[in-house]
């Protein structure tokens, strides 16, 4: 078999670079020796053509609208599995046997409580703090509480830190919510499954009995599955870059949370719902669609477009179905915002601007409607994304740490600043 090569002609010389063929997806040109052989860098702002790592966790075919975790389509995982099974799959690479699943669930469940002293940490935040601000701080502080799982060279500690974060993230997220609304924290209930426990920690109060609605718990679980991992997106790349320096896993996940908060990434679910509320009624849609197309207006249709998907986001399709199931269960027949969302989607999908640019609804377009119906305020939407994505970040971080080829991430730049010049004393400056 002939090895594939890519040839670059640069300044009168010819250079060959190896080309790797992945199991699926486009070929990859290995340019790691480009600088040492040619003296030039590549320039790729936004990493639109750059594979930053080798990974066997998640695959996206953006053209076809396909998402696979360890080879399994997201539709099958969402319909037939549950979130903790997806966590196992992402971490270990295969679907668990019954014994493996029981053992994993037991290990995660045993870590759901947080150190009691962490309760006092919350009191340092203003009551009106955005829950994502609390998440950044509290998750970062985990490394101050769990020193015994910060040695990244110890495989056992890496796994304990991983289980701790998967288990504690719903507890911390629920605490951020309870603190935000001024209600007492609710301890985890280890009799319940992951999603039911989370709903109980968010919505129960000590004064009343709380029964988890199984339909809503199933919807919550599906939402967690849909957000579990998404290849080398901005927050995952942030986690990998932070981890490449040898930083402890809690600090790396806190870095990922900070990145996810932005409205172009995980913050889009909050922004999408705010936008639907602002549009308010179907008759206002053309005005907003016109604004989204106007280059002089910074407004964008939130929940539309994706760097990788140039087709319908497969998660959005499942999310749309979950939205209908939740609204039906809650007896919400005419949600005016759902009406606006469906009409907006219809108009955008037939508009030449959106067709040409391949802008389709992404997961965030419908997730906000579902989360709102479940009872979450918009400020919690990205927190829920964080809770679910933690496992993906951890799986990607572990893969990187366990890769013998791993080196610190250190991009270069196209420098366009001043050349070297001499310091001018203040009294001589013009
Ligand atoms: N509304 C109107 N125009 C858009 C939109 C939009 N939502 N998204 C992209 N465009 C236009 C953009 O103006 C540009 O036009 P032109 O080529 O004429 O300059 C073209 O489409 C390409 O956009 P881009 O910003 O270069 O694409 P990108 O790959 O850098 O950005 C994106 C991807 C998701 C940040 C962007 O589509 C966006 O801002 N969408 C709204 C925010 C959103 O829904 N984000 C959630 C993403 S899914 C969840 C996640 O992964 O976190």
Query: What pLDDT digit, counting tens, does each position of 47-78 carry?
Result: 999 999 999 999 999 999 999 999 999 999 99
Is 189 catalytic? The answer is no
User: 226, 315 in Cβ contact below 8 A?
Assistant: yes
Out of 294, 364, 403, 422, pick the active-site residue.
364
pLDDT-derived band at 4, boundaries 50, 70, 90: very high
What does the chain come to in residues?
Answer: 430
Ligand 1 pocket, 265 CB below 6 A?
A: yes
Asked if residues 269 and 371 have their Cβ atoms less than 8 Å apart, the reply is yes
Helix, strand, or coil here: 361? strand
**Ligand 1 center to residue 238 CA distance, Å?**
20
- Which residue's alpha carbon is nearest to atom 32 within ligand 1? 306
Give mean pLDDT, residues 369-376.
94
Q: Which of 45, 299, 305, 351 most suits a substitution to test ligand 1, by most atoms within 8 Å of the C-beta?
A: 305
Across the chain, mean pLDDT equals 95
Render the burial of 307-317: b for 16+ CB within 10 Å, e for the rest: ebbbebbbbbb
What is the percent of the chain where pLDDT is above 90? 94
Span 226-242, pLDDT tens digits: 999 999 999 999 999 99
Regarding the beta carbon of 307 and ligand 1, being less than 6 Å apart is answered: yes
Coil vs helix vs strand at 290: helix
Ranges 2-6, 193-197, 403-407, most confident: 193-197
How far are the Cα atoms of 5, 281, 297, 344 from residue 289, in angstroms, in the given order?
46, 13, 11, 8
* d(CA 186, ligand 1 centre) in Å: 39
**CB of 24 within 8 A of CB of 18?**
no
Mean pLDDT score, 126-146? 95
362 lines ligand 1 (CB under 6 A): yes
CA separation, residue 23 to residues 19, 51, 231, 374 (Å): 13, 14, 15, 40
Bridge partners of 28, per DSSP, are 20
Q: What average pLDDT score do residues 37-46 get?
A: 97
Q: What are the pLDDT digits (tens) for 137-152?
A: 999 999 999 999 999 9
Strand 28-29 to strand 13-20: parallel, antiparallel, or no bridges (unpaired)? antiparallel
CB 384 within 8 A of CB 173: yes
Indicate whether residue 266 lines ligand 1 (CB < 6 A).
yes
Torsion-angle region of 71 (φ positive above 0: left; ψ -120 to 50: alpha; else: beta) = left
Task: Read off the pLDDT band of 2 (50, 70, 90).
Answer: low
pLDDT tops 80 at residue 409: yes
> Higher pLDDT residue, 368 or 184?
184
pTM recorded for the entire structure? 0.94
Question: What is d(CA 172, CA 113) in angstroms, rounded to the nearest whole number?
Answer: 9
Would you say the CB of residue 305 lies under 6 angstroms from ligand 1?
A: yes
Q: Is 306 annotated in the active site?
A: yes
Mean pLDDT of 341-345: 92
Residue 20 DSSP SS3: strand
Residue ID of nearest Cα to ligand 1 atom 51: 265
Asked if residue 422 has pLDDT above 90, the reply is yes
Closest Cα partner for 390 from 217, 164, 178, 153?
A: 164
Q: Is the pLDDT of residue 310 over 80?
A: yes
Q: Quick check: CB of 89 below 6 Å from ligand 1?
A: no
Residue 333's pLDDT is: 84
């Amino acid at each position: 078999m002939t090895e594939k090569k890519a040839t670059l002609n640069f300044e009168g010389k010819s250079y060959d670079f190896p080309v790797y063929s992945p199991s699926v997806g486009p070929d990859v040109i290995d340019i790691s020796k480009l600088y040492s052989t040619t003296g030039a860098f590549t320039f790729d702002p936004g990493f639109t053509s750059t594979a930053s790592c080798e990974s066997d966790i998640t695959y996206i075919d953006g053209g076809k609208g396909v998402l696979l975790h360890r080879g399994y389509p997201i539709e099958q995982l969402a319909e037939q599995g549950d979130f903790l099974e997806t966590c196992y799959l992402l971490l270990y690479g295969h679907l668990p046997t019954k014994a493996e699943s029981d053992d994993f669930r037991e290990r995660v469940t045993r870590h759901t409580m947080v150190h009691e002293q962490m309760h006092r940490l919350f009191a340092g935040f203003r009551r009106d703090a955005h829950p994502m601000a609390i998440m950044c701080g509290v998750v970062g502080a985990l490394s101050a509480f769990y020193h015994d799982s910060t040695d990244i060279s110890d495989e056992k500690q890496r796994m304990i830190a991983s289980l701790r974060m998967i288990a504690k993230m719903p507890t911390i997220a629920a605490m951020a919510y309870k603190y935000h609304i001024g209600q007492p924290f609710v301890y985890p209930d280890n009799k319940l499954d992951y999603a039911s426990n989370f709903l109980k920690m968010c919505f129960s109060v000590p004064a009343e009995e709380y029964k988890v609605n199984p339909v809503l718990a199933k919807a919550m679980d599906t939402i967690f599955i849909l957000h579990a991992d998404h290849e080398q997106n901005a927050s995952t790349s942030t986690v990998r870059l932070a981890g490449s320096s040898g930083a402890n896993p809690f600090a790396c996940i806190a870095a990922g949370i900070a990145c996810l908060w932005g409205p172009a990434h995980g913050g889009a679910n909050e922004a999408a719902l705010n936008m639907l509320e602002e549009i308010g009624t179907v008759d206002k849609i053309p005005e907003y669609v016109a604004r989204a197309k106007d280059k002089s207006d910074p407004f964008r249709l939130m929940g539309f477009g994706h760097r990788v998907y140039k087709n319908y986001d497969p998660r959005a399709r499942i999310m749309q179905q979950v939205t209908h199931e939740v609204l039906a269960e809650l007896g919400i027949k005419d949600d005016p915002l759902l009406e606006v969302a469906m009409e907006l989607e219809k108009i955008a999908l037939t508009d030449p601007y959106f067709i040409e640019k391949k802008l389709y609804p992404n997961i965030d377009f419908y997730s906000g409607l579902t989360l709102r119906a479940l009872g979450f305020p918009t400020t919690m939407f990205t927190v829920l994304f964080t809770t679910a994505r933690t496992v993906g970040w951890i799986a990607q971080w572990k893969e990187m740490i366990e890769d013998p080829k791993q080196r610190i991430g250190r991009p270069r730049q196209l420098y366009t600043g001043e050349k070297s010049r001499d310091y001018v004393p203040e009294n001589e400056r013009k």
